[in-house]
Amino acid sequence: MTPSVLVMGFSTRHVAKSAHEAGYAVYAVDHFCDQDLSWYTRDRIRFEDLDDLPAAIEEMCSRHRVDWAVPTSGAEALPHGLPVLGTPPDAAARFLDKGKTQEFFESLGVPAPKVLQAGQYPAMIKPRSGSGGWRNRVVSSPAEEAAWRDEFGGVESIFQEVVGGIPASVSCLADGKGNARAIAANRQILRGEGGSAYGFCGSQTPFDHPLAPRMMAYAEKIAASSGCRGSLGIDFVVGKEPCAIEVNPRFQATLDTVERALAMNLFSAHARACQGVLPERVPDPACVSVRQILFAEKDCTVHGDLSNLFPAVSDIPWPGTSFEEGRAVVSVYGWGPTRESAMELLDTHIRRVRQYVR
C-alpha cells in the first residue's frame, strides 16, 4: 500500500511536490492552494488563518487515511494526534521561541548576535515567535521602537545587536539522536527595502563563499544537538564569521533550489533520516539554482495561465486571481552552470511572468 502523508502549514507546495516525487500519496492543508499544489496532492483544503488550521486537519483526516503528518511553517508544534514524519512537536517548540534559540546557540559556543537590553540602539527587533523575517526591523530610537510595536500589536519581542553580512542558511538532515549532515549552503534573498526589508523572498544554492565550509560545520553541530529529526535549516549572517540567527525545525523554503542544485529528492532523504539513516556523502552541485518570489508592486490580477511557463515558475496562482500590493504572487526560477547564468535565466523568466500580471 502506498504510504500517505498529510503536509500541513501555511505553505506546503514545495514539500508536497517532493513527497509526491518520492512516491507518497500526498494530502495537504494550505493557506494558498495554488494551482500546482493540485498537481501533487490527492486532496487539499485551504484555510484562511492559522487559527483555522486544526479544523482543516481534522476535516482532512475524516476524509482519508493518513500515515504521517509532515508539518511546515505554522504547524511545527501543533497538536494533532498523528505520528510525525519529522521533528516531534516538543522539540520543534524550543526553536519557535527566538529567546530559547539564542540560549541554545550560546550553550553550544556558536557565534550568534548578542542580546541587547531595552533602550540599546541600534537594535534588530523581532518577534520572539514567527518565521519569514517580514516583521524583523532595525530600530535606532525609542520612537522607531514604539512605531514597530504599534504596527505589530505589541507582540513579545527580542532585541539583538545588528550584524552586518550576507544572509545565508544551511540545509541539514538529522536523526534526532545526535547525528547530522549538512547538505547545502544557501544564499538567502531578502526583500531589501521597506518595512519588510528582512522578509524572505528567495534563495540561491549553492552559496559559494570562503566561509561556507565553516558555516556548514557550525550547522552540523547545531543540528546534531537540536533533537530535530529529518530536514531542518539553520539561518546565518555571514560577515567576518558566520553568525547563527535561527533554527527552522522543518522543511525550509530553500527546498526547491537545493533539490535542483543537488539533483536529489530531499523528501526521500528526510524520511530516511527520520529512520536513523543519514547520507554517507552529499552530491556535488549539478548546477546553480535560484528562486525568487515575486510580490505585487501594486494591486494586480493574473491574466492567462502561468502554468504554461512551468518549470520556470511554481506556486502558480489560478488564472484571474487578484493580489493586493505587497502580496506574494508567484515563484520564479533560474538555473545554470554559474551564478551569472542562473541569474540571467531568472531575469528572462521574470520578464515573461510580468506579461501575465497587470
Instruction: Express each pLDDT in 66-110 by its tens digit.
Output: 999 999 999 999 989 999 999 999 999 999 999 999 999 999 999
The type of residue at 60 is M
Is pLDDT of 194 > 80?
Answer: no
- Reported as a single tens digit per residue, the pLDDT across 247-257 is 999 999 999 99
| Domain 288-354 bears CATH identifier 2.60.120 | no
CB atoms within 10 A of CB 171: 31
Average pLDDT over residues 175-195: 93
The residue ranges of every structural domain in the chain are 4-85, 101-160, 288-354
Residue 185 confidence (pLDDT): 98
Residue 193 confidence (pLDDT): 77
- Rounded Cα distance between 59 and 75, Å, is 16
* 100 backbone dihedrals φ, ψ, rounded to 5°: -65, -35
Residue 287 confidence (pLDDT): 98
3-state secondary structure string, the chain? CCCEEEEECCCCHHHHHHHHHCCCEEEEEECCCCCCHHHHCCEEEECCCHHHHHHHHHHHHHHCCCCEEEECCCCCCCCCCCCECCCCHHHHHHCCCHHHHHHHHHHHCCCCCCECCCCCCCEEEEECCCCCCCCCEEECCHHHHHHHHHHCCCCCEEEECCCCCEEEEEEEEEECCCCEEEEEEEEEEECCCHHHCCCEEEEEECCCCCCHHHHHHHHHHHHHHCCCEEEEEEEEEECCCEEEEEEECCCCCCHHHHHHHHCCCHHHHHHHHHCCCCCCCCCCCCCEEEEEEEECCCCEEECCCHHHHCCCEECCCCCCCEECCCCEEEEEEEEECCHHHHHHHHHHHHHHHHCCEC
Q: Which three cell numbers stand for residue 324?
A: 493586493
| Domain 4-85 bears CATH identifier 3.40.50.20 | yes
Q: Which three cell numbers stand for residue 105?
A: 546557540
What's the chain's average pLDDT? 95
The pTM assigned to this predicted structure is 0.96
Of the pLDDT bands very low, low, confident and very high (cuts 50, 70, 90), residue 153 is: confident
Is pLDDT of 301 > 80?
Answer: yes
- Rounded Cα distance between 282 and 264, Å, is 10
Size of the chain in residues: 358
